[in-house]
Each structure stands twice: as structure tokens, then as C-alpha cells.
A and B are shown apart, each in its own frame.
Chain A
Amino acid sequence: MAVASIGEQPLVVIKDLYKHFPLKQAILDVIARKPALSVRAVDGVSLVIKQGETLGLVGESGCGKSTLAKAILRLEEPDKGTVLFNGKDITHISRQEFRGHRRHMQMVFQDPYSSLNPRLSVREMLIEAMTVHKVCAPKDAEARVAELMAMVGMNIAAADRFPGEFSGGQRQRLGIARALAVDPLFIIADEPVSALDVSIQAQVINLLQDLQENLHLTLLFVSHDLRVIRHITHRVAVMYLGKVVELAPTQELFERPLHPYTKVLAAAAPVLDPRVRHREYAIEGEPPSPIHIPTGCRFHPRCVRARDICKASEPELQEVAPGRTVACHFWGQ
């Protein structure tokens, strides 16, 4: 896709979004008035997704990337913050009103088996999606089903079969077809190829790329796989413990990562060249729990660059070059 076709116009604007999950407290702790603990899954995220782009969201398990994706679509109600879609606030409107916008925003899940209704045939599933959102007249539904199946590279004969009869890659195609059924502007794909074998994964990646170009979709692509992210996205946001720590155009991010955590992620991915082997660990230890997030910069206990200021004050995301933001006190060093 030519870069020129990506509008600078924002489609989705996320402002200071929070989603915490309170933990159950023992009765004695409640009586003793101990402070309630919570998992701070999304802890103040601001992000702009531009019309027509594929934005990658990358991070390790527990960093909050999936929760952020769900909070945008209100599959998890955000605690605080705003999401603007096409300039309209969609977080502070009634559920009923939100449903009107929902057809423009669809989601593709990692495990297509658990996200497809096993009792509906493919045809029924697609027609149901179209009916709920009233996207086409009943008499046109049949033609639309055929069109959708062709779009995702499936034979129309498969429309009368049930999800259980398909392989993982085919199910993911069906998950994509269902998302497309309502003619959305924006699709969130949460680890859409992580469960697939590499040969099938490549087919689905190509399909997503083609659809995005042909239908001018805007895509938020959530993944832990840097190779896939590098291949499919225009820009990448890196998350660590509930916050975005770096945002940059994909090529620049991989060629010159600025945040120490981004460097760690890049160094940890196994290089596809047996001549390039390193002995030292990319990083020691494991991420702290999102219940007890470190003070100051949340990465400081594991950071080789950390100094006193990193323990005391949390760095804000700052623009350090056109289109590049990073949350680090010492990004330049």
C-alpha cells in the first residue's frame, strides 16, 4: 500500500484511558481498612489511530494490550478517559446509542473457535451480523454472503457448514468475514494469527493486507510477535505494564528503537540467521505484576540506564522526532 493513501485524519482518538480490575479483598482486610488492590491493566493510555493505517500494538502478556483493545470497543467498560471515533465521544454515551456506532468497529479474535457460534452455519452467522446492524435488505443478503466468502478466499459451498468443520486457518477467515459483514471502517485484530501454523499464518496475513488496501480499512493489530508486527503495520505502539512507552513508524522503530524496553523486545526475538547468535540475555528477570507497579518509570527496576530520577518521576510520552514519541528520561543516550 502506498504511504500516500494513509490519511493524516485521525479515525480513533484515545485520551488518557484507564481500566483497572479490583481484586477481591478478604473481609478482615476490609475491616482493617487496608487499601483495595487492583490490576492496573490499562493505566493511562493516549493514542491516535489514523484513517487507513495499520497500527501495531505490541507487548508481552499482562501488558494490557488486549484490555486496551477491548476497552476501545467497550467490551470492557473503561474506568476513565475518552475514545473519540470519527470525532464523536463513544465512551460517555448510552449503550444503546453506542450500538449505532458499533457496526463501524469490529473485532477479530485470536481463537476463532471460541468466538464463532458453533450452532450457526456460516451463512446464518453472516446474515445474523447483517440483520442486527441492518446493513442490507434481506433480499440482498444472499448475494452479500457470496461476496463476503469470496473476499476471504472461501468457497461459497462452505456457507452451509458449521464452524467445527473447519481448520484453524479457515475459521480465522470466517471470523474476518463476520467482521466484514457489517462493512466496518475500523477493525481491531487481537493476535489474529498467533494460533496458526506458519504457512497458514502467512495466508491470513496476506488476506488482511489485501482487505485493508481494497476496502480502505483502519486496523489496530495487536500482537506479541515482532516479526508479524514489522511486516504488517505502518506504525507501532509498544506497551509495558499498562502504558505506551514508545510510538513510532514501523521501520524507524525497528531500525532505531529509542526506549530501553523496545530494545529489549527486539533483542529477545530469535534472529532468523544462524550466523547471528548472542550469548547474553536480552534482559534478566520477569516483568513485575500489574498489581504492584513500580514508582516513577515503571521499567526502572529492570532498566540498565536507570538513575535516581527514574525511581522518582514517571516520564511522559514526549515527541522526540516527527511522529516519534517515547516515554524515557534518557531516550537520547
Chain B
Amino acid sequence: MPLEVVKSGQNLLEVEDLKTYFFMKDATVKAVDGVSFSLAAGETFGLVGESGSGKSQTLRSILRLIAPPGRIISGSVRYKGQDLLKVPLGEMRKYRGSEIGMIFQEPMTALNPVIRIREQIFESLENKGLTTDQKNARAVELLRLVGVPSPERRIEEYAHQFSGGMRQRAMIAITLAAEPKILLADEPTTALDVTIQDQILKLIVSLKERLGMSVIMVTHDLGIVAQMCDRVAVMYAGRIVEITDTLTLFGAPRHPYTLGLMGSLPHGARGSRLQPITGQPPNLANLPPGCPFAPRCRFAESICTETYPEMVQVGPGHFSRCHFIAKLDGQSGIIDLGNVAEGRR
């Protein structure tokens, strides 16, 4: 078992050495290239990274929602003692929705435009032995739970009659109707305004607690990580480069890429100059040997362009893929672990 999979009897989900490649006409894009992590019961786990880092494809691979030319090459996704990657595809229906639910960034493309919200919630309530009246009552209750006003009326409507924030709520209601144990959230608030994002994120937190769910949250926004996640994995070019608890990530990150992300973040007052990561993200179809971050890394030496670094443990539950962990000693993130910044917003 890889280092970064936290060993505990409490793990609900264990992803090990997952590889999902896209076979294009003239190249193979290694979107996910050996990803391992675990999710504990009741935990919110974050997958953070920039576009093309493989975070969304990792999430989709868990439910095997990968369409050609993409294919899951190898690895395992263990849930309740079962490797989901070995389940016959036809039987994945037993897991999708009812065991592991998923919400997406753009609810309009995830919702069915030609059937009413009510029917879409009903679909999630199938096989629960409910009468139509009971389903109706449950659907209204769910919409109320996620904060849709006048749910009795809105349940009769179609997705296009909902605003962006309301669509996201409806999608959450549909997902929750099946009472999943794990909620996979793929950038659920990226398309929303900041006040609506605030509502949706806090809604997910309270629903998670009430329903005892675990959550995997994919995001590019470190603010969302800070507010939502217990542990977090930082992805770069298809792999996890650092994994730790959220506080340590912000206080004492131990991977040059994570440090670079922190330096890129505008925080605090005007005047301080940003320290961006130089250069461009790599082309996944043509990755150089060695560490894919090396060309942009200020700590890189010749070994970095030759050998891919192994995951090494740098603290309790804290792992990093870097040849020069020692150089990063004493580097701090954007929060001072000895001092709570009161009310910094």
C-alpha cells in the first residue's frame, strides 16, 4: 500500500495507483498517472490543482465515468471491501448514486432539461419501496432541505426555470435523495457568484454533518480548501505531489509547487508583490522525464530532470514528492501557525 494511503480501519474509500489515460490520435495523455489516497468516514478530502492537473478525471474515475478515448488503465478503488474497478460495468449502477453520489460544476449539463425536477428526484428514490405520495413528500422535503424556496411549486418546474444557484441546489437534492455515503463534488461553486458560493458550501457542510456523509471536493480555489477540507492532496500533471491536513498545507507546505501556489495568491493588502510560479504548466501528452514541475521549480537540480521523485513522509500524515525536501525546511505558507489571523477575509 502506498505511503499516502492513511492506514486505518476507518477508511471508507481507498484509491491506489490509479491511472487514467486518454488515447488521442497522435499521443497518449496521462491525465491521472498513479494516484493514491484514502478517505475516512465523515471526512472532507480536497483534491486541488490547476486545469489539466487530473483532479476531475481522478474523481470521475472513482465512479468509472470515463468515456473513450479515455480509459482507466490500472489501479484499484476499494469501497466496502470491493474494488470498484473490477465490478462488471453493468453493476456500477448499484454504486453510482446510492452509495457514491456526484455533483458537477455546471448543473445545467448534469440536469435533464426535458423532465421536471420532481421526476429527476424520483429517479433517485427508486428501489426504496416508497409510494408516489411518499416520494412526493420526500422530494419536497429535500428541496426545502437544500434551500429552494416554495418547493411545492418549484418541484413542478424544469431546470431552465431555475437560476444557477438554484440549479446547483436542485442537483444536490437529487444526489442526496439516494442517500449516498460519499459525495463527490467537482468544482460545485466555480460558476456561481461569491454570495451563492458561500451558501452552497455551507449547505454542503451542514448536510454532510446531518447525514453523516464523507466528501471529496475537487477545486482550484485554495480558499475553498481552507474552508471545507480536513485533508487535502495537491495535484500536478496527473499525480499527487503533496498530501497533508489542511492546516499544515497552509502553514508549512513541503512541496515547491504548493509553495508556488501560496506565493501566487493575492492575500492581504496592496503593496506586497506576488511571487508567481514562472513558466507554463507542462503538456501532458509529452511529459519530460523526471519531475514534471522541475522546469518551473526554483529548487530544482540536475537529478530533478532525470528521476521522478518518490513520495516521502515529511511529518505525521504529511507526504511530498520532492528530491529536496531538506531545502524546504523552514519555508512557511500563508498563515502563521503560531498566530491566528483574526477575521482576515
Contact = CB atoms under 8 A, between A and B. Distances in A.
Interface of A: 60-61, 167, 169-170, 197-203, 205-206, 209, 224, 226-228, 230-234, 250-251, 254, 264-277, 279-286
A16 B184 CA distance: 48
A199 B199 contact: no
A273 B222 contact: no
B198 interface: yes
Contacts of A266: 345
A71 B267 CA distance: 31
Contacts, number: 151
Contacts of A267: 198, 345
Contact of A198 (B50, B163, B268, B335): B50
Given A167-B280, A271-B345, A273-B226, A283 B195 contact: yes
Contacts of A250: 269-270
B293 to A, nearest CB: 11
Nearest to A168: B51
B222 A198 contact: yes
Given A197-B50, A271-B227, A282-B195, A205 B280 contact: no
Contacts of B265: 198, 202, 227, 272
A202 B276 contact: yes
Closest 6 CB pairs of A and B: A270-B223, A231-B266, A202-B276, A202-B264, A197-B50, A268-B198
B223 A268 contact: no
B196 to A, nearest CB: 7
Contacts of B267: 227, 231, 272
A60 B165 CA distance: 13
Interface of B: 50-51, 149, 163, 165-166, 193-199, 201-202, 205-206, 220-227, 229, 246-247, 250, 260-261, 263-270, 272-278, 280-281, 334-335, 340-345
Contacts of A167: 280
A226 B264 CA distance: 15
Contacts of B50: 197-199
B226 A272 contact: yes
Question: Of residues A205, A268, A273, which shows the largest number of chain B Cβ atoms within 10 Å of its Cβ?
Answer: A273
A61 B165 CA distance: 12
B195 A264 contact: yes
B329 to A, nearest CB: 22
A282 to B, nearest CB: 5
A230 B194 contact: no
Contacts of B198: 267-270, 281-283
A323 to B, nearest CB: 15
Contact of B341 (A198, A276, A281): A276
A202 B274 contact: yes
Contacts of B163: 286
Given A61-B193, A224-B193, A286-B196, A269 B345 contact: yes
B247 A274 contact: yes
Contacts of A226: 194
B260 A270 contact: no
A268 B194 contact: yes
Contact of A269 (B166, B194, B273, B274): B194
A70 to B, nearest CB: 20
A197 B51 contact: yes
Contacts of B225: 274
B340 A203 contact: no
A264 B229 CA distance: 23
Contact of B226 (A170, A232, A264, A271): A271
12 contacts: A202-B266, A205-B266, A230-B268, A230-B269, A231-B268, A231-B270, A250-B270, A272-B223, A273-B250, A275-B335, A283-B198, A285-B149
